[in-house]
Amino acid sequence: MNRVAARAGICLLLVALLLFGMVFFLFEYAVNADAWVVFPGSPHVYNGGNIGCGIVTDRDGVVLLNMSDGRIYAQAEDLRKSMVHWLGDRKGNVYAPALSVYSEQLAGYDFLNGLYAYGRIGGTAKLTLSATVQQEALKAFGDYKGTIGVYNYKTGELLCAVSTPNYDPDNPPDISDDTTGKYDGLYVNRFTQSNYVPGSIFKIVTLAAALESIPDIQEQSFICKGSYDIGKDTITCTGKHGRQDIKQAFRNSCNCAFAQIAEQLGKDTLTLYVEQFGVVESLSFDGITTAAGKYDVSQASQFSLAWSSIGQYTDLVNPCGFMTFVGTIAAGGKGVKPYLVESITSDNMTTHKGKGQSGDRIMSAATADIIREFMAYNVSDKYGSDNFPGLTVCAKTGTAEVGGEKKPNAWMTGFVADEEYPLAFVVVVEDGGYGREICMPILSKVLEACKQSMIKNG
Amino acid sequence: MSDLVSVLLNAQDAYVHVFTAIFRWIAPVLASVLLFRCIKPLLTFRRVPEVWAQLCLSDDHKLPVTHWENVIGRSKRSDIVINIPTVSRSHAVLTRYDDGSWTITDADSKDGVFVNGKRIKIRALQSEDVISIGGVEMTLQPISKQQEQRLAQVRTKTSSVFSSFANVVLLSVFQCLCCLAFLIGSGSQYAQNILLGFGGIMVCQWLLLLFYVCIRRISFEVETIAFFLCTMGMAIIATIAPKETVKQLLAMVLGLTLFLTVGWSLRDLERAKKFRYIAAAAGVGFLFITLLFGKEYYGAKNWLVIGSFSIQPSELSKVCFVYVGASAMDRIMTKRNLFLFIGYSIIICGCLALMNDFGTAIIFFCAFLVIAYMRSGSVGTIALACTSLGFAGVVALKIAPHALRRFNAWRHIWEKPLAAGYQQTRALMCMASGGLLGLGAGNGWMRYVFAADSDVAIATLGEEWGLVFVLLAVLAVAALALFSVRSAAMGRSSFYTIGACTAASIMLMQTILNALGTVDVLPLTGVTFPFLSNGGSSMICSWGLLAFIKAADTRQNASFAVRLTRKGGISSE
């Protein structure tokens, strides 16, 4: 019997295997449980592909989305529409990465209680967006497709970001049978995810590169006869601008002058500065990764290089990325990147505090000052300061040819130079036409709304 | 009026929350206390050797005989060591029977065993018979009836009746609270099923305890653990498939019947040995019938559908397999080869291979290894294991496409959260969502996952009752196994020891595959958790296996599957 009794120990091997396995699991649990809870699709956190717990408000505390029981959007239809690309919808057609990334804080997970939440409602995410500005922007945009973004270039707060077309998540349209094209890219957040041909707004980049690398650029003068020949090819201009210095050329948005500047800069220098300025780089904030733009002149001829310097050729920029570039100029060559989630609070505890990530210096303060002066001159001398009462706006418009039968994309980007309203902005209207005509009215209303919002907030 | 109604409805909502908020703390405490009270005596009882006889050598030296089955030999690992070169390493086996008689069997020794000068193979010993082993002469002096009674009195006492009652009361309170949690939490749609389910378990445990008291058995720890697991299983079914609570309760009643039947058959070793042949026939019979008439569900053809009932006969074969594998010492020592048993195992494995039942095959294979090791010691086992591994390989190859998918997903479930890793990723997400204390009865999401009440049952347990309960369930099974190992030292016959250890190993294997499979430590194989998983056959089998563990419990007045000493136990007339 002694032998058999001793051999009974073989059971202990299995006990050890079981206990070892459980300890291994407990270790994994201790390390990973918080990640498992919020893994995409986790049933208690997600709902139809989007996070399904917590509350989202705008910067003033207006409730945009309450997910503590179901998914209740804001009362106002225009607010629901203007926010859908940030909040996501019920079916997960629009994904809300900025909320999902904070799913742990929104879900209110803790190790002991898991997601059990008696007397708690999970977290409350406060966005930097302003509901009133969003509504105003949506109204101003009308039926156009495109996007507008405004952010505070000193703090990084994103005040306004609307992408159109959009829709009411409480009443989603049936787009399967649509042939009119009015729902094209309905689910795409154009502000962060799209790429557009920049057109003339890219002249800011070329200007900055020239100011940084060509010492006598401000003393030079450029002649525009309405066109400029490079080899057998011809760059065309919108008019005959005659002899002009770089400030005038920038004001006139003169293609011929910028083609000559591009020739002076050359491929490598221009590419180097595009990289240094981070114009086509992808940005990451609050779980959002913006689409990277494109500037590739490695195969370009001199002629193509000239086009690339005025935002045509194969150039592509992302609105959010370009806005950040312009905002950095406004901040003096070194600024902060935008962010969307101001804070997350749970049980009166702040579990997340948003902050604009500070960027590297991309150009000298002197260069930034000159560009600011030039852009201010654009508005005062050409676009009309009276469009922006009480604001010192510096801007550049663009009209980007996209080919085909479509009208050009209308652009306007820039910033407010006033100390108390440090706002940088970008507007792009697809199939819009002439930049200034289309964008100015929209921008004028939105900037006014931003101003009011900031006054209200002190 | 309508205001009042809505106020009341809201109030109900509030007290549901308050109840859940309190109960989620009480439940794990209550369960932990209960299990601690049950497990502690099982793991700490004092093991005092029982002296059943004495061997008197010619030089007046006396050797105590401490088991019912004793190997006499030169080897240090013999029960009675006679270290003389003429004695074989394992020379003879001295066996005691239920009626107090003794036999001696020659264990294929070199020089043979002589009784009163005659060489014998096996012989019943009379008093004064002179046994000669390797030239050493001795007589056997069994203890007298008085001594036997005294032995019963000093034998390791089991826990008190009071303690057993207290445990069952504690369990009943827990069951009532569980029931309440479901009833006030999830409305009354399935109130009847839930009440029947929990109430039925409660009635069964009290009836069994009363029956035990009537036959003067007072140890109830092992049963309480089993009933606790059944209760948690019921809690899982109540949330996943509330219509099936009554079905599961019926299975438990059938299981208890099997438990008592197997236990009764094991009381008498000679009877048990006869039962082996029936069990052997039944074991293969079940599988053959399944092969012929079985239905294939979810890739394995292991279901037998009779009318509206479907059973998994392979579960019942497990109980039979334990029966067939267990063996008494004289047989182990004289017939060292295991060819018959190996042949039997091959047939079983072959059947399972034809059924594509991978999980069950692993469990049988593991049970086979345990039995083979316990019977043969280390020497033959390796060879046997290799042989059997070959067969396991054939099984694995046969069912490769089915199993391969799961093996591919193993440790990669997060890469395929919507395909092969679906069940386990949901299981882990839900377990993590439940935290340590759970989301509350009926508040889980696991019901939308396939097999949430069987293959991945612990995820449901973790989600609604908390990780603490998962650990308690696993520890409960581990405790049953540890108890079997501890009992082995006091085992009377190797038949019981092998039986108990094999039964415990099968439960352990099921727990390992189920629990660790669910949490992706091992591949998911679709095996049930003993007592916990929803499934009638599995429930019946678990109780059948428990009978073997009970039969090895030799503590005084502990087990109905062990006879009290012939003339009375502690309360002898």
What's the CATH number where A59 sits?
A: 3.90.1310
Closest CA to B428 of A195, A39, A106: A39
What confidence tens digit (pLDDT) does each residue in B142-184 have?
Answer: 888 888 888 777 776 667 889 999 999 999 999 999 999 998 8
**Count of A-B CB contacts under 8 Å:** 179
Q: Say whether A353 sits in a helix, a strand or coil.
A: strand
Instruction: For residue B167, give the amino acid letter.
Output: N
Taking only the tens place, the pLDDT of each residue in A346-373 is 878 888 999 999 999 999 999 999 999 9
Which tokens sit at A60? 């003033």
Quickly state the pLDDT bin for B402 (edges 50, 70, 90): low
C-beta atoms of A18 and B433 within 8 A: no
Which chain B residues are within 8 Å of A2, Cβ to Cβ?
Answer: 67, 71, 77-79
Q: Do A1 and B485 touch (CB under 8 A)?
A: no
The answer to whether residues A267 and A401 belong to one domain is: yes
CA A38 to chain centre: 25
Q: Checking phi first, is residue B129 left (phi over 0); if not, alpha (psi -120 to 50) or beta?
A: beta
Q: Do B432 and A6 touch (CB under 8 A)?
A: no
* Residue A309 covered by a domain: yes
Give me the residue label for tokens 């009443």: A171
Which residues on B lie below 8 Å from A118 (Cβ)? 17, 20-21
Nearest CA in chain B to A18: B512
pLDDT in tens, A377-397: 999 999 999 999 999 999 999
pLDDT of residue A217: 93
Per-residue model confidence (pLDDT) at position A254: 94
A116: left (phi over 0), alpha (psi -120 to 50) or beta: beta
Decide if A97 is inside a domain: yes
Least confident of B29-33, B133-137, B559-563: B559-563
pLDDT, residue B10, reads 67
Burial A139-153 (b: 16+ CB within 10 A, else e): ebbeebbbbbbbbbb
| Facing residue for B521 by CB, picked from A6, A24, A110 | A24
Q: What is the pLDDT of residue A351?
A: 87
Non-local (6+) Cβ contacts of B155 within 8 A are B48, B50, B554, B555, B556
The residue whose two tokens read 């852009």 is A375
- Residues of chain A neighbouring B428 (CB-CB closer than 8 A): 36
Q: Quote the mean pLDDT of chain A.
A: 91
Which range, of B256-270, B347-361, B547-561, averages the lowest pLDDT? B347-361
Residue B447 has pLDDT above 80, yes or no: yes
Strands A50-51 and A55-57: unpaired
* Cβ–Cβ gap B445/A43 under 8 Å: yes
Residue ranges in B186-268 assigned as alpha helix (H):
191-214, 221-240, 245-267
Confidence of residue B293 (pLDDT cuts 50, 70, 90): confident
Same domain, A110 and A212: no
CB contact under 8 A, B435 and A110: yes
Query: Residue B31: which residues within 8 A CB-CB, separation 6 or more?
Result: B174, B228, B468, B469, B472
pLDDT of residue B384: 65
Q: How confident is the model at residue B394 (pLDDT cuts 50, 70, 90)?
A: low
Q: Which residues in chain B are closer than 8 Å to A41, comparing Cβ atoms?
A: 417-418, 425, 429
Which residues from chain B sit within 8 angstroms of residue A3, using beta carbons? 71, 77-78, 377
Do A140 and A261 reside in the same domain of the chain? yes
Tokens of B448: 């939308």
Q: Which residues contact B571 (CB under 8 A, 6 or more apart)?
A: B216
Percent of chain B beyond pLDDT 70? Answer: 89
**Which residues from B are below 8 Å from A22, CB to CB?**
471, 474, 515-516
Of A128, A144, A174, which closes a domain?
A128
**Residues A326, A365 within the same domain:** yes
Same domain? For A317 and A288 the reply is: yes
Amino acid symbol at B89: R
Give the model confidence (pLDDT) of B27-78 as tens digits.
Answer: 999 999 999 999 999 998 887 778 889 999 888 888 899 888 899 999 888 8
- The reply to whether A259 and A400 lie within a common domain is yes
Domain hosting A106: range is 46-128
Residues in chain A: 458
Considering A71, A105, A128, which residue would you say is the last residue of a domain?
A128
Query: A225 and A107: one domain?
Result: no
B429 interaction partners in chain A (CB closer than 8 Å): 36-37, 39, 41-45
Beta strands in B295-344 (DSSP E): 295-297, 300-306, 309-311
Same domain, A87 and A186: no
Of A3, A15, A36, the CB nearest to B377: A3
Residues B373, A10: C-beta atoms closer than 8 Å:
yes
Which residue in chain A has the smallest CA separation from B94? A1
pLDDT score for B399: 59
pLDDT at B571: 33
Exposure of B118 by Cβ count < 10 A (0-12 exposed, 13-18 middle, 19+ buried)?
exposed
pLDDT confidence bin for B245, thresholds 50/70/90 = very high
Question: B435 and A113: CB-CB below 8 Å?
Answer: yes
Q: What pLDDT is recorded for position B383? A: 66
Q: Is A263 exposed, middle or buried (0-12, 13-18, 19+ CB in 10 A)?
A: middle
Q: Is A443's pLDDT higher than 90?
A: yes
C-alpha separations of B21 from A278, A430, B14, B27, B472 in Å: 53, 55, 11, 11, 21
What is the CATH number for A367?
Answer: 3.40.710.10
Which of B67, B366, B474 is opposite residue A18, by nearest beta carbon? B474
Q: Cβ separation of A1 and B67 shorter than 8 Å?
A: yes
Residue A108 covered by a domain = yes
Structure tokens at A427: 């507007």
Instruction: Judge whether A198 lies within some domain.
Output: yes
Interface test with A, best of B80, B373, B428 (most A CBs within 10 A): B428
Residue recorded with tokens 């997400």: B429
pLDDT value of residue B224: 97
Phi, psi of A321 (to 5 degrees): -60, -40
Residue B572: its pLDDT value, please? 30
What is the pLDDT confidence band of residue B564, given thresholds at 50, 70 and 90? confident
- Asked which of A20-29, A337-346, B265-274, B371-380 is least confident by mean pLDDT, the reply is B371-380
Cβ-count burial B152-179 (b if 16+ within 10 Å, e if not): beebebbbebebbeebbebbbebbebbb
> How large a percentage of chain A has pLDDT more than 70?
99
> Phi/psi of residue B273, each to 5°?
-65, -35
Question: What is the chain A residue with the closest CA to B414?
Answer: A39
The CA distance from B33 to A353, in Å, is 43
Confidence of residue A176 (pLDDT cuts 50, 70, 90): confident
Query: Which residue in chain A has the smallest CA separation from B499?
Result: A8
By the 8 A CB rule, do B321 and B364 touch? yes
Say whether B497 and A33 touch across the interface (CB within 8 A).
Answer: no
Q: Which of B467, B478, B485 sits opposite A19 (nearest CB)?
A: B478
The closest of A388, A400, A194, A204 to A291, measured between CA atoms, is: A194
Distance CA A348, CA A356 (A): 23
Greater confidence, B3 or A165?
A165
Is residue A372 in some structural domain?
A: yes
Q: Which residues of A touch B438 (CB under 8 A)?
A: 114, 116
Q: Report whether pLDDT(B514) > 90.
A: yes
DSSP label at residue A162: E
Interface with chain A: mutation pick from B90, B501, B514, B553, highest number of A CBs within 10 Å = B501
Q: A238: burial class by Cβ within 10 Å (0-12, 13-18, 19+)?
A: middle
CB contact under 8 A, A6 and B77: yes
Helix (H) or strand (E) holding B468: helix B467-488
Per the omega criterion (within 30 degrees of 0), is the bond before A165 cis?
yes
Instruction: Let me know whether A294 and A434 are in one domain.
Output: yes
Overall average pLDDT of the B279-286 stretch: 92
Structural domain total, chain A: 2
CB spacing of A3 vs B519 below 8 angstroms: no
Which chain B residues are Cβ-neighbours of A39 within 8 angstroms? 414, 417, 425, 429
Res. B345 pLDDT band, cuts 50 70 90: confident
Instruction: Measure the CA–CA gap between B544 and B539, rounded to whole angstroms.
Output: 9
Among the ranges given (A256-260, A398-402, B508-512), the one the predictor scored with the smallest mean pLDDT: A398-402
DSSP-assigned letters across all residues of B505-529: HHHHHHHIIIIIHHTTSS-----PP
Q: What is the mean pLDDT of chain B?
A: 86
Residue of A21, A32, A113 lying closest to B512 (CB–CB): A21
User: What is the residue whose two structure tokens read 């000493």?
Assistant: B565
CB contact under 8 A, B438 and A114: yes
Residue A402 inside a domain? The answer is yes
List beta partners, residue A317. A196
User: H or E stretch including A312?
Assistant: none
Do A118 and A143 lie in one domain? The reply is no
Within this chain, do residues A273 and A384 fall inside the same structural domain, yes or no?
Answer: yes
Q: Is the pLDDT of residue B336 over 80?
A: no
> What is the chain A residue with the closest CA to B70?
A1
Confidence label for B9 from pLDDT (cuts 50, 70 and 90)? low
For residue B29, give the amino acid letter: V
What is the distance between the alpha carbons of residues B231 and A105, in angstroms, rounded to a whole number?
35
The answer to whether the CB atoms of B491 and A5 lie below 8 A apart is yes
> How far apart, in whole angstroms, are the C-alpha atoms of residue B141 and residue B154?
20
Cα distance between residue A67 and residue A63, in whole Å: 11
pLDDT band per the 50, 70, 90 thresholds, residue B567: very low
Instruction: Read off φ and ψ for residue B353, nearest 5 degrees.
Output: -65, -45
Mean pLDDT of B499-509: 96
Given a cut of 60, is residue A174 above it in pLDDT?
A: yes
Shared domain for A71 and A219, answered yes or no, is no
* B355 contact partners, CB below 8 Å, separation of at least 6: B287, B290, B291, B294, B300, B301, B302, B314
B313 pLDDT tier (thresholds 50, 70, 90): confident
Q: Say yes or no for a CB contact (<8 Å) between B434 and A114.
A: yes
User: Is residue A149 assigned to a domain?
Assistant: yes
* Residues of chain A positioned with their CB less than 8 A from the CB of B67: 1-2
Given A8, A25, A26, which is nearest B485 (Cβ)? Answer: A8
Give the pTM.
0.82
Whether the CB-CB separation of B490 and B310 falls below 8 Å is answered with no
Q: Least CB-CB distance to B488: which of A5, A37, A44?
A: A5
Q: What is the mean pLDDT of residues B108-132?
A: 89
Q: Say whether A206 sits in a helix, a strand or coil.
A: helix
Q: What is the pLDDT of residues A259-314, one digit of tens each?
A: 999 999 999 999 999 999 999 999 999 999 999 999 999 999 999 999 999 999 99
| Residue A27 within a domain | no
Confidence class of residue B568 from pLDDT cuts 50, 70 and 90? very low
What is the pLDDT at residue A334?
Answer: 94
Classify B335 as helix, strand or coil: coil
Chain B positions touching A52 (Cβ under 8 A) are none
Burial class of residue A364, CB neighbours in 10 A (0-12, 13-18, 19+): middle
Instruction: Give A412-415's long-range contacts (Cβ < 8 A, gap of 24+).
Output: A412/A201, A412/A436, A412/A439, A412/A440, A412/A443, A413/A201, A413/A204, A413/A322, A413/A323, A413/A326, A414/A326, A414/A375, A414/A378, A414/A379, A415/A153, A415/A326, A415/A327, A415/A329, A415/A330, A415/A372, A415/A375
Instruction: Using the 3D structure, point to which of A67, A97, A128 is the last residue of a domain.
Output: A128
What are residue B118's DSSP bridge partners? Answer: B115
Q: For A350, phi and psi rounded to 5 degrees?
A: -85, 115
Mean pLDDT value of segment B474-495: 92
> What is the rounded CA–CA span in Å between residue A196 and residue A204?
16
